[in-house]
Amino acid sequence: MEQNVPGEPGQSHPDDGGATDGAHGAGAHGGHGAHGAGGHGAHAPEATALERFSSGVWSWGKEIITILAIALVLSFLIKTFLFRAFYIPSGSMENTLRIDDRIFVNLLVPEPFALKRGDVVVFKDTLGWLPPEQAKTGPFSWIGDVATFVGLAPDSSQQHLVKRVIGLPGDHVKCCDAAGKMTVNGAALTEPYLFPGASPSDTTFDVTVPAGHIWVMGDHRNNSEDSRAHQRDSGTGFVPISAVEGRAIVIAWPLNHVGILGNYPKVFANVPEPAGVTKGTSSGVVPTGK
């Protein structure tokens, strides 16, 4: 026979009102708590998702800005110290270079790497070979200037020229010999890069290139205002090496004309070195048949 001992916990009977009320109370409070948790928690995931989305967009934006900044800096450094793009506006170097070609120029020539005969070079017009450049107009002309400055667009300033180096300092360049070929230090040149049907020169000349200068000619000899014409007209045919921007090495555009620009070393392989570098001489450039 069981007895309840005062002071000890007794067993609850099914009809124990306290136990039932407690359970009911617990259930009631539990339900309210669940409702409260569910009601307030419904907004928390939305806020968290929005914050995560905003944080992700900002991180992504910072990465894009960083990448663009690095790309611009690298482009500027490459354009300043290694390679630079130029646009070809005329046909004086056809068919080697065509109108509207885009070329890349190696800025490490002539320093630290020396110029060679046959190199295609881009040089600044320090001698006044070209007419003055027209001022750019239009509200957005500065965009092209900025793109050119940072190296994202080819230089189209019209104040550079591109020609092929024929004579180095001290070289004796003459046209033409009995076979109609141009000679450098007495060695006749067979020039495969000339425009089809063009002669080595339609003018006769006999010059010695002075120290610090080069003698340049276009590959389309009948359509090139080069050292010959300017030596004849104004005595400014010798181009200062200091004006050379670099050696053209690649045609990058258009795609159907992409290629490497060679300097044809075999053409000049038999040219002896000059006896000495002088101040430069010229017996004149005389048009033939005019």
pLDDT at residue 16, rounded to an integer: 41
Does residue 188 carry a pLDDT above 80?
A: yes
Cβ atoms of 241 and 96 within 8 Å: the answer is no
Q: Which of 92, 201, 224, 227 is catalytic?
A: 92
Q: State the pairing for strand pair 259-260/172-175.
A: unpaired
109 sits in the region (left: phi over 0; alpha: psi -120 to 50; else beta) called beta
pLDDT of amino acid 278: 62
pLDDT value at residue 37: 42
What's residue 41's pLDDT?
46
Fold of 85-128+142-287: Umud Fragment, subunit A (2.10.109)
CB neighbour list of residue 227: distance below 8 Å, 6 or more residues apart: 163, 166, 207, 215, 216, 217, 237, 238, 239
Write down the catalytic residue from 55, 90, 156, 163.
163
Give percent of the chain with pLDDT exceeding 70. Answer: 68
List, for residues 228-246, the tens digit of each pLDDT value. Answer: 999 999 999 999 999 999 9
pLDDT in tens, 254-274: 999 999 999 999 999 999 999
Q: What is the mean pLDDT of the chain?
A: 79
Active site residue 174: no
Q: What is the pLDDT of residues 7-20, one digit of tens each?
A: 444 443 434 444 33
Residue 226 has pLDDT above 70, yes or no: yes
Q: Specify the range with the lowest mean pLDDT, choosing from 32-41, 86-95, 161-170, 214-223.
A: 32-41
Specify the pLDDT at position 123.
97
Burial class (CB within 10 angstroms; exposed 0-12, middle 13-18, buried 19+) of 105:
buried
**5 burial class (0-12, 13-18, 19+ CB within 10 angstroms)?**
exposed
User: For residue 133, what are the CA distances in angstroms to 29, 157, 220?
Assistant: 88, 8, 24
Q: Taking 90 as the threshold, does the pLDDT of residue 193 lie above it? A: yes
Residue 105 carries which DSSP code? E
| Cα–Cα distance measured from residue 280 to residue 58, given in angstroms and rounded to the nearest whole number | 65
Read off the pLDDT of residues 36-83 as tens digits, 9 standing for 90 and up. 444 444 454 555 777 777 777 788 888 888 888 887 777 677 766 788
pLDDT for the residue 152? 53
Q: Omega into 112 within 30° of 0, i.e. cis?
A: yes
pLDDT higher than threshold 90 for residue 202: yes
From residue 171, how far is each of 44, 208, 242, 273 by CA, in Å?
A: 84, 6, 18, 8
What are the tens digits of pLDDT across the range 124-167? 999 999 988 766 666 655 566 666 555 555 555 668 999 999 99
Active site residue 163: yes
More confident of the two residues 6 and 43: 43
Please give the Cα distance from 161 to 88 (Å, whole number): 9
What are the residue boundaries of the structural domains of the chain, listed by start? Answer: 19-81, 85-128+142-287
